[in-house]
Amino acid sequence: MKKKKREFTPRQKKFIAAYNGNGAEAARKAGYSPKCADRQAEWLLRNPEIRAAIEKRETKTINKLIMDREERQAFWSEMARGEVPRTKADHRLRASELLGKSEGDFLERREYSADKSLVDLFRSIAGVTPEDDK
């Protein structure tokens, strides 16, 4: 049987919304007594449901701030085409380079023959020369 998720009290909801790393401050903002705000915050932060709600809220906030792949590519495309006002040529070039890299246009491919020993193969990949051993 699945455990029923209980609702947060209004003050708990305010605490979750106000929490920014400082529990006592968030407790005061949520309406808890200033005298016991630090103890109340400690108690609230030990509650796994409240911690999960804070983490969920922070994840949503962070996701809004970070561009996803499509947004980056659209921005780089606008920059490369000169659609962004006052875009310098070197910025346009850099934007087209970043767009190309994101699409895999500049993948470095190496071919190795089977006539080398594995040791020689790994040395060549790592860039180690026989002179380095001396």
**Single-letter amino acid, residue 33:** S
| Predicted local distance difference test score (pLDDT) of residue 77 | 87
pTM of the model as a whole: 0.48
Length in residues, the chain: 134
| Predicted local distance difference test score (pLDDT) of residue 98 | 85
Closest CA to 50 of 90, 23, 78: 23
Digitized pLDDT (tens) for each residue of the chain, 134 residues in all: 556 667 899 999 999 999 999 999 999 999 999 999 999 999 999 999 999 999 998 887 777 777 777 888 888 888 888 888 877 888 888 888 888 888 877 777 777 666 667 777 777 788 776 666 55
Q: For the chain, which domains are there?
A: 10-65 (1.10.10.1400), 69-102 (no CATH)
Site of tokens 């246009």: 105
